[in-house]
Structure 1
Amino acid sequence: MDTHAAYKSRWLPWVLLLPSFVILILFLYYPTIETFVLSLYQVAFLGLSKSFVGIENYKILFTDPEYLQIFKNTVIFAFFVVIFSMAVGLALSVLANQKVSGWRIYRLLLIWPYALSPAVAGVIFLFMFNPQSGIVNYLLTITLGIAPDWLTNPTLAMGLLVFVAVWKNVGYNVVFYIAGLQNLPGEVLEAALIDGATPWQRFWRVTFPLLSPMTFFLLIINTIYAFFEAFPFVDLLTKGGPSNATNILIFNIYRDGFEYYKTGMAAAQSVILFIAVVFLTILQFRVGEGRVHYGG
């Protein structure tokens, strides 16, 4: 298409794009560059002064056992959130895709948790899993005679965080998986049925491979979600405790930057988190895209 036929002036497209460029520069590119620069400085309280220290902040982080434990916590948390969120989302999508009575209501109820803000979801589960007055412990007490202390046991606290994060995000996966299931080529599924394939065989050998583009997309999105969007759950439920057992990178960045005012260290952690997510995304593209099958 001839650009000059569409626009009378060669500058008009750039003028129309200017507001987007200004927003991207001010709220994305400039803060990103500033974070990289700030990670090379040691910043005094409230930024009153700063001194250049090079990569010293990074050296401190990678030799600090506490930070390495936080990094390990983050990897464990992200792994289980991604696996369970996608697996549960796919299973529920297959069930919700069945034409049964009330299927519209079922789909709406599955998607509803994603519409809640993370803060609201965190507060809901904080009340539900309260060791003294929560409904979960009340039901466990009258049925099994146990009342776990969810927030002071390291394993239970991490499990609770994973559960909340999965519950909040599974609706997102359901939306995309249902869309993928409804767009599968019907003739392929019918051919498998005629060939005598069992429902289990049809799913793993036909349906799941055809969903690989959607699965690959959701793998990237869920990884980003697990690393960057879990802050409200940690802040409201565990505050990183007990004994840093549930402290993850995104929460530790906030705590160092806005509670302890270690701005340079927080910036260095932000850079590490950014690089880690970029690395995982590239790795997923290199490993996973070869197994993605487009088309029917």
Structure 2
Amino acid sequence: MGKPGGGVGAAAAGARRTRLSRRHREWIAAGLFIAPDALGLALFVGLPMVLSVVLSFFQVSGFGSYEFVGLGNYARMVDDPLFWDSMRTTAVYVIVLVPTLFVVSLGLGLLVRQRIPAVGFFRTLFFLPYVISLVVVGVLWRFMLDDQVGVVNKSLRAMGFEGHSWLGDPSTALYSVIAVFVWVMMGYYMIIFLAGLQEIPREYYEAARIDGAGPWTQFRTITWPLLRPTSFFVLLMSTVAAITGGFELIFVITEGGPANSTSLAIFYIYQQAFIFGEYGYASAMGTALVLVMIACSAVIFKVTRGGRFDDGS
């Protein structure tokens, strides 16, 4: 005769085994879903990054020979004035572009959230430039900003103003590229902000209006604090896009000129690698640029996610 309660104990043990088995199946299913992306990242992102770091310690000749130089490429980078010029240009590019893109995208997100006629049309209109290839955008704006036949200068002259060499003047070329990049990307980040805005319960705004809060107070005390996760994503992605994603526009619109005024670090790395065949040196600069992006990401995380989600944090 079995022990009293033995059947209950066996049933409980069986239920625990069932739960554990279900949990294991969920972990296996999650792993199978993640595996393709993880494998792709490891093969096409992680492995090239590791090989780039290794390559940065070698001097690679045009005939494919490798000579170990240790930190020689990094020492050369420190003494290279053109590299530091490109880093300064990149810094200006990021410092001007990221806040401008952030403010414009947030403003558009707040605008298209309103219940206004044809709001769906305006959302599509603002998002449309993002789906166009950057190469096509570059060719289009290079023609539009042309000194003589560009539509921008023609419009200015029609209004009685003098035209300007937007891409030929070192003082305006970089800012012209920034304006084009903002035009391309603002629709994408508008959608991101719109998604974040729609996650904020409308009851908060109704309660604030009952308390007599105006639009600015509502934005400062409700919208801005609760948008911090979205702001973190937008700032991070736009910073990375500014540092690495400006290559196509620079290559098509200005080719780094005039007088290297638009030669971003990513463009200078491209020149060293694929024009001059300095793959080891380019890898060293690429490694340094990745470290800069990691540092920028840490600062953005600290600023946007370090505090509590309330005003004054």
Same fold (TM over 0.5): yes
Could you give the per-residue CA deviations for residues 40-67 of structure 1, whole angstroms, max 9, x where no partner exists? 111111x521211111111111122221
Equivalent residue, structure 1, for 2:20: 2
Secondary structure at 1:51 match in 2: strand
Residue equivalent to 1:123: 139
In the other structure, the counterpart of 1:108 is 124
Structure 2 counterpart of 1:277: 293
Normalising by structure 1, what TM-score? Answer: 0.91
CA distance in structure 2 between the aligned counterparts of 1:213 and 1:207, rounded to whole angstroms: 12
Partner of 2:7: none
**Following the alignment from structure 2 to structure 1, what is the Cα–Cα distance between the partners of residues 290 and 266?**
10
**Greater radius of gyration (CA):** 2
Kindly tell me: are residues 162 and 17 of structure 1, through their superposed partners in 2, closer, same or farther at Cα, counting changes over 3 Å? closer
The share of aligned pairs that are identical, in percent, is: 32
What does 1:137-156 align with in structure 2 at a 5 Å threshold?
A: 137-156=153-172
Q: Structure 1 residues 19 and 87 mapped into 2: Cα distance closer, same or farther (>3 Å)?
A: closer
Aligned to 2:54: 37
Residue aligned with 1:2, SS: helix
For residue 291 of structure 1, give the secondary structure of its aligned residue in structure 2: coil
3-state SS of 1:139 partner? helix
Q: Which amino acid aligns with 2:231?
A: T
Give the count of matched residue pairs: 291
After TM superposition, the structure 1 stretch with the greater mean CA deviation from structure 2, 279-288 or 13-22, is 13-22
Match of 1:26 among 34, 40, 43: 43
Assess if the C-alpha contact under 8 Å between 2:225 and 2:309 holds in 1: yes
Inter-partner Cα distance in structure 2 for 1:189 and 1:14: 41
Is the 2:229–2:304 Cα contact (8 Å) retained in structure 1?
Answer: no
1:255 equivalenced with 2:271 (yes/no): yes
* Alpha-carbon distance change, 292 to 72 in structure 1, aligned in 2, over 3 angstroms: farther
Question: Residue 143 of structure 1 aligns to which amino acid in structure 2?
Answer: M
Runs of 4+ with deviation above 4 angstroms: 3-7, 10-22
Which shifted more, 198-207 or 58-67?
Answer: 198-207
The CA distance in 2 between the partners of 1:225 and 1:57, in whole Å, is: 26
Q: Quick one: structure 1 residues 38 and 291, their matched pair in 2 at CA, closer, same or farther if it must change by over 3 Å?
A: same
- Taking the TM superposition and a 5 Å limit, the aligned residue runs for 1:146-185 are 146-185=162-201
Deviation at 1:288, TM superposition (A): 2.4
Deviation at 1:251, TM superposition (A): 1.1
Instruction: Say whether the 8 Å CA contact 1:213–1:292 is kept in structure 2.
Output: no
In the superposition, the TM-score normalised over structure 2's length comes to 0.87
* Rounded Cα–Cα distance in structure 2 between residues aligned with 1:169 and 1:276: 22
Within 1, Cα distance between the matches of 2:152 and 2:32?
A: 57
CA contact (8 A) 2:228 2:304 kept: no
Gaps of 5+ in 2: 1-18
**Which residue does 1:291 correspond to in 2?**
307
> In 1, distance between residues paired with 2:149 and 2:252?
17
Q: Offset at 1:163?
A: 0.5
Change (3 A) 1:292 1:159: farther
Q: How does 1:198-209 map to 2 (within 5 A)?
A: 198-209=214-225
Match for residue 82 of structure 2 among 66, 69, 74: 66
Q: Could you tell me how far apart the structure 1 residues matched to 2:308 and 2:149 are?
A: 48
Provide the C-alpha distance between the structure 2 equivalents of 1:253 and 1:176, rounded to a whole number of angstroms: 31
